[in-house]
Structures are given as C-alpha cells and as structure tokens.
Chains A and B, each alone.
Chain A
Amino acid sequence: EVKLVESGGGLVQPGRSLKLSCAASGFNFNDYWMGWVRQAPGKGLEWIGEINKDSSTINYTPSLKDKFTISRDNAQNTLYLQMSKLGSEDTAIYYCARDHLGAVDYWGQGVMVTVSS
C-alpha cells in the first residue's frame, strides 16, 4: 500500500523557517518524481514544485522559488520541503505528492503550517 506521511508542521513566527518531511512507503521511491502542493484554509490547490528521481531537476512555481527548496533522500525514502522567510500567506495545509505522468496519483494526509506571531 502506498503511504505518504508528512511531518514537521506547526505554528511558526513570521520571517522564520520550517522544514517539512514526507516519509514514503509501499513503493519504490527511487522510481518516482515527487512534489508538494499546498492549500490555504478554505481555498484551492497550489502547486509548489517537484523533484526528479535523482534530484538533478527541480521545478518550482516562480512565486515560491526564492523561499522554498525541495530535496529528497532516496536512501531514507523521504522528501523534504525547506521553507524560509515565512509569511501569513504561507499558512496552509501542505501535501506531499507522488507524480504519475504529471498528475498526482497519491497524496499524503497533509500537514498544517500556521504562520502567526
């Protein structure tokens, strides 16, 4: 069974940094592009970016490229999202996503990040 489990969310002050993790199991992590999608409370979905199998290619939505960094550790079957200079606009549920031909065929349960003083 494919499982994606995010962790590392919580309350963070404006301007600070936070790193999310996504532990993958039930499939060969090395064989898949992986990414992150977020959803602000009561809003729609926003694609953050994705990373290829060997970390040689990472694509971001332009407005987040200078704040967010996606990485992965294939030995640990883990995907990461490093977020910096956080603002209230970054308050959202963050989903780990497995890429299937560009679509997301498996989603994590999501982790809440709240940016507030």
Chain B
Amino acid sequence: DIQMTQSPASLSASLGETVTIECRASEDIYNGLAWYQQKPGKSPQLLIYNANSLHTGVPSRFSGSGSGTQYSLKINSLQSEDVASYFCQQYYDYPYTFGAGTKLELK
C-alpha cells in the first residue's frame, strides 16, 4: 500500500494568514492526489483533485501543487470558515489511502 504522510498534524494560524499543509507519498503517485476539508460533525468536502485542479465551487484562495511524492495545499488569506480538518488522499494505486489529517485552528 502507498503510505501518505501528512504534516503538520495540527496548525494554528491568524485570519488573513497563508497556510500550507503537506503530504508525502511513499512512492510516486503521478499527481493522483486529492485534498478534502472536513468541518466538525460534517462530511468531508472535495477541494482539489489531480493535485492542482480546483473542484467546482471551491474558493480560489485554496490551491494545490506538487509532483512525484511531494504535494501541498495552500490556503491564502485564511478565513474563519476555513477552520477544519484537512486530509490528503492518493488515488494513483489501489488501495486508495488517506493522510492522517491536519487540524487547522485560529490563533
């Protein structure tokens, strides 16, 4: 199985700040990567797919980048509604696997 190592596990940031979350795959996943946002008590929501494609309706302050084994999610100008947990997922190879998640809080 491909292991996804996500960092940091938790993050505290101020409103308006830029935040970056990273995911490292145990082997090349050829951009087969998605990012999800999950608010407490809610289902996850797709933000980014194919490493850098913004899902429909997702604000443009979210962006994804990376290649090979290293990927990142960037949130520009942090808003209060961005407080959530974030997960990466590889879908290059079965079984699909998720990172352990990053909990983003406001400072």
Contacts and interface: CB of A to CB of B under 8 A. Distances in A.
Contact of A100 (B46, B96, B101): B46
Interface residues of B, number: 23
B71 interface: no
Interface residues of A, number: 23
Interface string B73-99: 000000000000001010110111111
B34 interface: yes
A77 B89 CA distance: 26
Contacts of B87: 44-45
Given A102-B34, A104-B34, A105-B55, A45 B46 contact: no
A77 to B, nearest CB: 19
Determine the main DSSP class of A at the interface with B.
Answer: strand
A88 interface: no
For the complex of A and B, the 9 pairs showing the least CB-CB separation, nearest first, are A102-B91, A103-B34, A61-B95, A103-B49, A107-B43, A47-B96, A45-B98, A59-B94, A44-B101
Interface of B: 1, 32, 34, 36, 43-46, 49-50, 55, 87, 89, 91-92, 94-101
